[in-house]
Each structure stands twice: as structure tokens, then as C-alpha cells.
Amino acid sequence: MESAGDWCLIESDPGVFTQLIKKFGVKGVQVEEMWTFDDSIFDNLRPVHGLIFLFKYLQHDEPPHPVVKDNRLEKIYFAKQVINNACATQAVVSLLLNCNHPDVILGPELTKLKEFSMSFDPRMRGLTLSNSQTIRSAHNSMSQQALFEFDPKVPTKDEDAYHFIGYMPIDGRLYELDGLREGPIDHGPIAPEQDWLDVVRPIIVSRINVYTEGEIHFNLMALVSDRKMIYERQIQALMSETRMLGMETDDVDVEIRRLRMLIEYEDAKMLRYNQEMLRRRHNYLPFIITLLKILAEEKKLSPLLEKAKERALKKGPKKVKSSPSRVLPPSEHMQYSLADLDSIFREPQEPPSQLEPQDVLQQSLLEPPADMDMLATDDFLKDVVLDTGFEHDLIDVHDIFDENMIPTEEFPHDDILDPDELLIRDYMRNPGNEEERDAE
């Protein structure tokens, strides 16, 4: 059995979080990424049950409002984070266990967890969550395939750590659920006629403004009702209304067609999430090794390597980015370290001039991820494709997955898929290819 500390790092990605929620056995809910703070984006996603916010962790950051330690904890499910790398799962589980919306069906595992640990204090709830085999297995199933194992390095004070927290309304008040605190943070009441999203918006804006100008490493996601379920429900309502009135109108017909298109879009999106998860989990190392062997046998490996090095030198040295985990000092109230917070790697950016908070969030979402090494793998593979005469689809694994590996909407098993063999077989099945290229 895995130890309570064996929790992997996972990405801040709506597809990953949606798949994670399904692994928990929860139905009727999904996660959507927020590209802006504008009201219009929330209008298309209602009902919004909670927000998940990723930000750079400041170790000595004091809570802006009182931390709840009174009898409200008997109704609010708050679990203190007592294990490494679990803040992503902790944030989404906290939102789910405090959500009482009829659309959200927790499923047997989370229902059992809530019933068993609701009477515990926050620390004991955190221990209960960390020892749930189902939750830990679901969390670790979201990890990327590691090509190599490295010894954990000692973190430095210059490294950045990132942390997930949740915001949601509970009993007419807005709460911030941060597992590194001693309890929920009470941000005050929500008026009956007030939208809770209007209350949380300035709080997130003020949190972004705490950082220096040019800091854009933020991510915001919303926990919303299953969009396909919402659209199907709207179609049923329109059809029922039409039957009651005994006539159809062009407006109703157009609206039904629009909703069916949105359902098709949701189906395609979920299929894409499955494909991305498959690529994330697949081990490409055998294919890479076989490809390098072929290049070495054909005396093409060394020239490509030198060319990739030259390109990397022209780009200049990369700025050292933060480790994906960072060990934080243990809390004086706990015997566990609260370290290894989830991190994201981003390309260093020039500080923008006077960006508004919503622009900062949008820029952070649109920013491409930084290369992990000075010698970029993409550059090397690009040389392989362009300079050796290899067919492009030998390298484009995405195309192979799209056309050959995902015949149905169901998530394929890893042992069925072997794109490495397909790639190499595609290259080797016509032994005359190289002679034809030499002849040219």
C-alpha cells in the first residue's frame, strides 16, 4: 500500500480536474477555465458552485480576514493539509463536500468520507483524506509519465512554490478554503439579492495586486454543473413546452439546434480531455530510444545534436525556474511538513506595463509553458523531421492518437496502446525509403 506521502504533482488544467472529479465517483459537475473576470463568461457557466485559484505562495502571508475556529466548523467541511503535493485535490474536495446543489452527486466514496470525518477537527479530517486509498489513487492517476527518476534536490529560498485554494458561498457567507490555514477564512456576508461572484471578484483582484508588477503566474477555474446535463435539461423543457402548447415555432427549433450543437461540443471536449490524459500518461521513452538508435546507425545523430546545441546557445541560458515542489517549514501546530506545493513552469516574461488584474489572469492563461531544459526536445525533433527526410507523421504522435488510437469515446486502456511500435513500424515497413531519398 502507498504511504500517505506518495502524492504526485498534477497540472492546473480543467481537463485534469474534470477527470479527477470523475475518478472520485462524483457526477453532475465539471471544471472550466476562466479566461477573464468579465461577467459574460460566468453567465454562460451558471450555476457556478465554487472557484479554484492557483497563485504563488507567500510563506508569511497573513489571512486578510478572521480564520473560522468556532462551531461553524461543524457545518463547514474544512480539512487541514497534512501531506505533500495534495493541495489541488484538497481544494476540489473541499468545494465538493461543501456543495449542496442538487446537480452534484458526490458518489459513495466522498459521501462515506464526509459522513465518517465530519465530526473530526480539521487536522484529523486532513489525515482521513490523506489515508483514503481511492482519493490518493485518483490523484496519482493524473500524474505525467516520468521518463527518468531524479534524486530530490534541496529547495532554495529563491524557488517559487504555487498553491491551490477554493472560494465558495456557504450559508450566505463567502469562505476561502485554504488547507494551509488553521480554518476557513470568512470574507463576510453575501446579500440575498447579490451574486456571490460579484463578491469574490474584488477579493481575487486584490490578491493579484499584492504581487509585484509583471507577475502573471495565476490560474482561475470554476466548478460548474455538467454542461451537457444542463443543455439536455433545457432541450427537454423546450420540447415539453412545445407539446403543451401543441405547436412548434421557428425560435424553439433554432434554440434546440443550438443546444444540440453545444452538446456535441461538450462531447468533443471530453474526448479531447481523454486524449490529452492518454498522452500525458504514455511512456514515450522506448520510442525515443529506438529513434535515437536508428539515427545513430545512419550517422545522423551527432550532426543533429550539434545543430540543436547551436540553436540553444543562440537562445541564451534559461532562467532557473522553481522546483515543482518546495519544502516549507513544518507548522508549529503540526508534526507534518506542508511542503511540495504544486507548481507550474512558465517561460520568463518581460514585465508588462500597468496591466489590469483581469489582463494579468488572461495573459497567464495564454502564456505558453517554458521549456524544461536548455536543449529543447522540440528543437531536436524538428531537426529530425526537417533534415533527415523522415515523414512528419512519424514524429507527430498526436495525429496517430487522433486517427488510430481513439476509435470510440471510451478511454482506452494503456496496455492496448503502443504508439512506439506504430511509429517505428511505419518507418521500417518500407525499407526502400532511404534508398529512394539517396537517389533523389
Q: Following DSSP, what letter does each residue of 189-227 receive, concatenated? A: E--TTS-HHHHHHHHHHHHHHTSPTT----EEEEEEE-H
* Lowest-confidence pick of 263-277, 310-324, 342-356: 342-356
* Per-residue pLDDT at 358: 54
> What are the phi and psi torsion angles at 305 (to 5°)?
-65, -45
Write 407-410 long-range contacts (CB < 8 A, 24+): 409/267, 409/270, 409/271, 409/274
CA proximity to 427, closest of 384, 398, 363: 384
Mean pLDDT estimate for the chain: 76
Q: Using CA atoms, how far apart are residues 308 and 378, in angstroms rounded to an integer?
A: 10
Question: With left for phi above 0 and alpha for psi between -120 and 50, is residue 85 left, alpha or beta?
Answer: left
- 37 pLDDT band (50/70/90 cuts)? confident
* Per-residue pLDDT at 334: 37
The stretch 30-46 carries a mean pLDDT of: 86
Question: pLDDT tens across 57-91, in order?
Answer: 877 677 878 899 999 999 999 999 998 889 999 99
**Cell numbers given for 51:** 472557484
The stretch 233-238 carries a mean pLDDT of: 94
* Per-residue pLDDT at 207: 87
212 pLDDT higher than 70: no
Lay out the sheet containing 162-170: strands in order across.
Answer: 29-33, 219-225, 48-56, 162-170, 173-177, 185-189
* Per-residue pLDDT at 359: 60
> Any idea which residues carry the catalytic annotation?
87, 163
Question: pLDDT tens across 249-259, in order?
Answer: 788 889 999 99
228 pLDDT higher than 60: yes
- 167 pLDDT band (50/70/90 cuts)? very high
CB half-sphere exposure, 411, CA atoms < 13 A: 14
Q: Using CA atoms, how far apart are residues 38 and 359, in angstroms rounded to an integer?
A: 11
> What are the phi and psi torsion angles at 91 (to 5°)?
-65, -45
Question: pLDDT > 90: what percent of the chain?
Answer: 45
Name residue 239's amino acid: M
β-pairing, 29-33 vs 48-56, is unpaired
* Lowest-confidence pick of 7-16, 100-109, 402-411: 402-411
For 45, 185, 402, 408, the CA distances from 34, given in Å and listed in that order, are 10, 23, 27, 29
- 339 pLDDT band (50/70/90 cuts)? very low
CA proximity to 7, closest of 204, 218, 164: 164
- 10 pLDDT band (50/70/90 cuts)? confident
Question: pLDDT tens across 130-158, in order?
Answer: 999 999 999 999 987 766 665 555 455 55
Q: Using CA atoms, how far apart are residues 45 and 225, in angstroms rounded to an integer?
A: 8
